[in-house]
C-alpha cells in the first residue's frame, strides 16, 4: 500500500489490479486509517483518469453485496442522486412521486457531508423512522409501497462507508473521481435500471462553477453507462436554499407541503426540480413517451394526492407508527409541528 500511495502521489496512473488491492485493504481492515487518508489526498491532488475512476467504482461496488430484484421489475428500478445543497429536500418528494407513477425506488441516501444537509438526518427527525433496512426488508417495502429511503447497509459497498466518512475529515470531499466512485458504487450495487443525477453548482455547492459541475456530470454519466445503468444528469444552481427552510424537521415539514401541492413561492422551484428529474426517470424507464410527458405524470401525482399517500405508506413501512404518519401527512401545520417537536426558541432570519 505505501508503494501505491507513492505512485499516485507522484502523479502516476494506477492499474486496475492496484486499485482493487487498495479497496481490498479498506474492506479487510489491513489498510491503516492514515494510509487511506494519504491515498485520498493523493487522489485529490493528482486526480484519476476516466479508466482509473471506473476501476475504483467497480472495486467499491464489488466490495459488498449486490441487491437483486424480481424479473418483473426489469427496467423500472430507478433512483436519483444530488451532489448536495442547502435546503435540498427533493428526495423526500421525488421517491414517493416516482413510486406513485409505477417505478420501484430503492433510494440509498447519505448523511450531511461538508455544509450540505443529509436526507437520512432529515428523515430521522420523524419519530420511529428507520433508515437501516436489510435487503429483505427493502424488497418487502418496494413490493408493498414502491419506494424506500435508506442508509447504506454494512453489506452494500462497505468500502464507500469507510471512504465517505474519511473524505469529510480530510478535506477531500470535492475530489471529482472520489465523488464519482462514491455515488456510482452504491448505485451499481442497488441493481438500478435508470439513474438521474442532479449536479449542483454555485456558492453553496461543492463545485462553485458551471464548468466544474459539467465536468463532474460527464464523469458520472460516462462511468454510469459503462456500469450498465441508463444515466442522465442535469445541472442546477445552488446559489440560495431551496424553499424557505433549512434544518432537518423543518425540511420534512416543507416537503410535506410540497406533497400537498402547497407551500411558499420559493417551493415552486422545488416542484420544478422534482418534476424535471422525475420526468427524465419515467422516460428512461419507459413509463413515459418523453421527458415532458413524464413531468406531467409527476405533477399529476402531486396534485391528486397519490404521492402523499405513498409517502405515508413509506413512513409506515420504515417504522413510523400509523397515528404519527397520519398526523404528519394529514394534520394541520400546528399538529405536524407538534409531531416533530419544536425548539423552545425560534428566530426568523430575513434575507435582504
| SS3 at position 5 | helix
Cβ atoms of residues 139 and 147 within 8 Å = no
Which helix (H) or strand (E) segment holds residue 195: the answer is: strand 194-201
| Nearest alpha carbon to residue 320 among 117, 82, 119, 125 | 125
Does the active-site annotation cover 81? yes
Name the catalytic one among 63, 82, 109, 182.
182
Task: Look up 130 and say whether it is catalytic.
Answer: no
Cα 184 to chain centroid, rounded? 10
Of 186, 187, 200, 336, the catalytic one is 186
> Which one is catalytic: 63, 160, 161, 249?
160
CA distance 325 to 331: 10
Q: Which of 167, 187, 200, 230 is catalytic?
A: 167
250 C-beta neighbours (distance < 10 Å), count: 21
Q: Does 16 participate in catalysis according to the annotation?
A: no
Q: Cβ distance 163 to 61 under 8 Å?
A: no
Give the total residue count for the chain: 352
Catalytic residue check, 186: yes
* Number of Cβ within a 10 Å radius of residue 350: 4
Active site residue 182: yes
Contact status, residue 240 vs residue 204, Cβ threshold 8 Å: yes
Q: Which of 80, 81, 111, 230 does the annotation list as catalytic?
A: 81
- By annotation, the residues acting in catalysis are 81, 160, 167, 182, 186
Amino acid at each position: 500500500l505505501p508503494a501505491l500511495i507513492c505512485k499516485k502521489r507522484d502523479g502516476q496512473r494506477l492499474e486496475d489490479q492496484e486499485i482493487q488491492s487498495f479497496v481490498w485493504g479498506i474492506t479487510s481492515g489491513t489498510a491503516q486509517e492514515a494510509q487511506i487518508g494519504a491515498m485520498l489526498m493523493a487522489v485529490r491532488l493528482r486526480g484519476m483518469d476516466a479508466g482509473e475512476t471506473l476501476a475504483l467504482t467497480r472495486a467499491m461496488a464489488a466490495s459488498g453485496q449486490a441487491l437483486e430484484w424480481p424479473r418483473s421489475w426489469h427496467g423500472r428500478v430507478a433512483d436519483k442522486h444530488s451532489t448536495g445543497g442547502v435546503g435540498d429536500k427533493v428526495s423526500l418528494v421525488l421517491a414517493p412521486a416516482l413510486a406513485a407513477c409505477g417505478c420501484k425506488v430503492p433510494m440509498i441516501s447519505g448523511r450531511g457531508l461538508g455544509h450540505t444537509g443529509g436526507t437520512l438526518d432529515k428523515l430521522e427527525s420523524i419519530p420511529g423512522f428507520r433508515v437501516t433496512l436489510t435487503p429483505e426488508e427493502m424488497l418487502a417495502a418496494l413490493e408493498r409501497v414502491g419506494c424506500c429511503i435508506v442508509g447504506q447497509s454494512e453489506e452494500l459497498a462497505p468500502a464507500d462507508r469507510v471512504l465517505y466518512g474519511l473524505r469529510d475529515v480530510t478535506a477531500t470531499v470535492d475530489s471529482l473521481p472520489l465523488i464519482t466512485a462514491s455515488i456510482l458504487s452504491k448505485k451499481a450495487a442497488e441493481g438500478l435500471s435508470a439513474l438521474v443525477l442532479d449536479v449542483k453548482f454555485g456558492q453553496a455547492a461543492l463545485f462553485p462553477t458551471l464548468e466544474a459541475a459539467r465536468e463532474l456530470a460527464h464523469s458520472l454519466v460516462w462511468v454510469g453507462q459503462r456500469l450498465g445503468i441508463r444515466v442522465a444528469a442535469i445541472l442546477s444552481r445552488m446559489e440560495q436554499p431551496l424553499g424557505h427552510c433549512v434544518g432537518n424537521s423543518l425540511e420534512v415539514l416543507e416537503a410535506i407541503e410540497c406533497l400537498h401541492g402547497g407551500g411558499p413561492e420559493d417551493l415552486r422551484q422545488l416542484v420544478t426540480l422534482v418534476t424535471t428529474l422525475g420526468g427524465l426517470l419515467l422516460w428512461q424507464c419507459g413509463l413515459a413517451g418523453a421527458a415532458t410527458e413524464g413531468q406531467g405524470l409527476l405533477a399529476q401525482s402531486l396534485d391528486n394526492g397519490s404521492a402523499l399517500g405513498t409517502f405515508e405508506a413509506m413512513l409506515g413501512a420504515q417504522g413510523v407508527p400509523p397515528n404519527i404518519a397520519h398526523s404528519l401527512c394529514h394534520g394541520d401545520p400546528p399538529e405536524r409541528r407538534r409531531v416533530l417537536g419544536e425548539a423552545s426558541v425560534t428566530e426568523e432570519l430575513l434575507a435582504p
